[in-house]
Structure 1
Amino acid sequence: MFKKGAKLYSYEVVREAGKDVLYVNFLGAPFVPSIADSASVMARTIDMLIEAPNVSRIVFVQQRNYCYDLHQVSLLSEIAQLYVYLIRQEKVLEAKKLATGKCTKYLPQRYDTMRYLVLVLLKQDPIGCYVEAKRILREEKIFARKLPENEKACENAYIRLLEKIVSLLEATKLIKKVKNKLEGYRLGSRELYSEIFRPEILPNFTFTSQKQKNLLILKE
């Protein structure tokens, strides 16, 4: 599958039976790759889906192949599309979107918050992103009540942006699956993902064949 010397985490998209399959090289990784267990693996996968949006199946290649089917891939593809929309269409990291007029003094804090939500949490932990966005929205609404009249208009614009992000997340298939299971949820928990992302584990015949060849050479 991968050429000799292929870098760890490199990937190839292969056309199979009329479908695009994303093969990711985890040979040599010091861990078993898992979308459910690892925030970094989930984020890498979403980055790949941003670059290759038409993928129907994902295969993590290691001593075994970890295969994610169309349904599981579609859940992450939707998150990848949302990321692209928020960055490129909504431009959520632009200053004029976060704070204008009397609210410019809040820009650094809002910029850090939005970077955390969209650049980090959305890709590493979309469920956590949803929970955090809702929490931040509640806090901003409380904060808005205490503001002087000349700051309320720009504060309300920021609140509407947060409301849109929460609404867009709620519309995703992933959040719909877990929305009624979030009572007692702790940020960073991967338990809900383990119920959703369950790869089919298959032998890696290329790896097995190479291993057998190496054993024969040693015997000789």
Structure 2
Amino acid sequence: GFIEMADVESAQRAQVISLIVEVEQRRFYWIQLNQLQNLDQRGIILEVSKTPKALHSLITLSIYKIGTHLSQENDQQTLAIRSGSRECLLHIQQYGDASDQSELVNANYSKVLVIAINTASGSGEEEDDEIFEGLNSIFQFLGYLIQGRNYSATFQPQPLLARRSNEQIEEEGGNEEIDSQLINKGKGSFWSIKNNANGAKGWILNYFIEQSNQRPG
């Protein structure tokens, strides 16, 4: 009986320690995100580029406790962490140069974007704004990699990065997820979810058409 009670107390202590660590981690995340979000777009890119593993940390935080529901307050806090992280990643995507795009692909950015719109399986964000922003990021990211970009930090088409990004989307079941949003009547900040889903699907199809055209006949 004494040994069993000791085991229970040990497990309880471990649980308390785990909760304390989690609270401290969350506080650290908030501080880091607030610092990043107070910078301008280029400032975010510079801050991340000079901080070792910062981009990978943002990738990890962008799916922090996704699909875990403990309480309304906790859900709101973890959603804010995920949303803030994705916003920082979006700034890097929109204003970063070719090397920044390569880092995003290396960090499996496209997989994270698919997880953000993963409502078909019930394990992703259910808020329309989150789905809208995830689709919009896929739409823009693939477009940049396939066509290149002639504004902000300009770069030429990145076919190898486009291929890897498409592979990541496919591996995460992204094609099916995007298809499931083609009938979503919800709206995001400026445009409909359905339109963004169509845009993302269009770039995926465009990529495969270009690939088939490049094969020797």
The higher radius of gyration belongs to 1
Which structure's residues are more often helix, by fraction? Answer: 2
Higher RCO structure, 1 or 2 (CA under 8 Å, sep 6+)? 1
Which structure's residues are more often strand, by fraction? Answer: 1
